[in-house]
Amino acid sequence: MAANIAAVLHGPYDVRIEDIPVPEIANDEVLVKMDCVGICGSDVKMYTTGACGAEVVSEPIVLGHEGAGVIVKIGSRVSSLEVGDRVSIEPTQPCRRCEYCKLGRYNLCAAPRYCSTTGASGNLCHYYKHVADFCHKMPDNLSMEEGAAVQPLAIAMHACNRAGIRLGQRVLILGAGPIGILCAMTARAMGASAILMTDVVQSRLDTARELGADYTLLVKRDTSDQEMVDGIVARLGGQPDVTIDACAYASAQRVAMLVTKTAGVVLVVGIGDSKVEVPLTQALIREVDVRGSYRIVNTYPPALAAVSSGAINLKKFITDHFPLQKTKEALDLAKSGNAMKIIIHVHKIDRN
């Protein structure tokens, strides 16, 4: 078998292209020859700061958790997949034994072994092993790029499910990054009647209008919370039934709790600071439900089906492409905010 080349993060701004061993699979695992891997906001946080949420880079770690590839080897107990199958990889390997796994909420597992976190390798490499039942066979009409981009879509679908979006609702999405855009596309597919997105970057709002938003609002650095509330209500034609915070800034969470309709829902999907100051009482006395959404649970098959059926179109969402050898350049572009979804083509040869 060929060498296993990987993008390995050693610390802030220190990502190296290195040879690593080809992993040996267990009897319930498969070996995947990776094809495409997306760059995520959490990858950028790890790259720029050496940490993301509770995860801290204490030793070198392979990056990547948005992956698709082809199975080249299967374990002795695997019957659901075959060599040659194209798969989209749900990047978790939960314990299956804890209270939350038994309830079907495996995203809350205390030991999830999530790709590219402590104790779990990422998949931005030539060969990667994973438990077979979290490798999802891709419909024939999906490209490998779409198979990789299904991962953030599955996050957005879980967020919209948690928010309880229903037909005819007004939806506000704070932050027009990749997850925010995908939440807008999902909310549209779920029947939202009006979607407003906000961001500090006009180019992202332009993309938002192309991919799912009815209205946009550019936020300036000196915009007050009340000015934001007034601008949102004016553009949306009323208060939102559901507000999704997809940027995780304290200012966005304050606005969300102020602007959301009485008895509405505020859903926080972005990972921000461990402590923020928000007008919680204002929301609670109006019975606004404040909910969190974490990673993915039971939304990979629906996400694949939605893309395959055409209900959600990921082609315009994918904007930039890089070979594995230029992972650092891809991360720098992602950090700039000038790209939507960046795909690393693992086996593409860099001839420059």
State mean pLDDT over 300-310.
97
Residue 178 domain-assigned (yes or no): yes
One-letter amino acid identity for 105?
A: R
The answer to whether residues 129 and 232 belong to one domain is no
State mean pLDDT over 121-143.
97
State mean pLDDT over 323-335.
96
Domain that holds residue 323: 4-137+317-345
pLDDT at residue 275 above 90? no
pLDDT at residue 58 above 90? no
Question: Who's near 36: CB < 8 A, 6+ residues apart?
Answer: 67, 68, 69, 144, 145, 147, 148, 343, 344, 345, 346
Tell me how far apart the alpha carbons of residues 341 and 343 are, in angstroms, rounded to a whole number.
Answer: 7
| Counted domains in the chain | 2
Residue 328 domain-assigned (yes or no): yes
- Are residues 288 and 262 in contact, defined by beta-carbon separation less than 8 angstroms? yes
State mean pLDDT over 208-218.
95
The answer to whether residues 228 and 285 belong to one domain is yes
Tell me how far apart the alpha carbons of residues 232 and 116 are, in angstroms, rounded to a whole number.
Answer: 37
Which of 52-66, 73-87, 199-213 has the least mean pLDDT?
52-66
Residue 113 domain-assigned (yes or no): yes
Tell me how far apart the alpha carbons of residues 325 and 332 are, in angstroms, rounded to a whole number.
Answer: 13
- pLDDT value, residue 56: 81
pLDDT in tens, 36-49: 999 998 899 999 98
pTM: 0.94
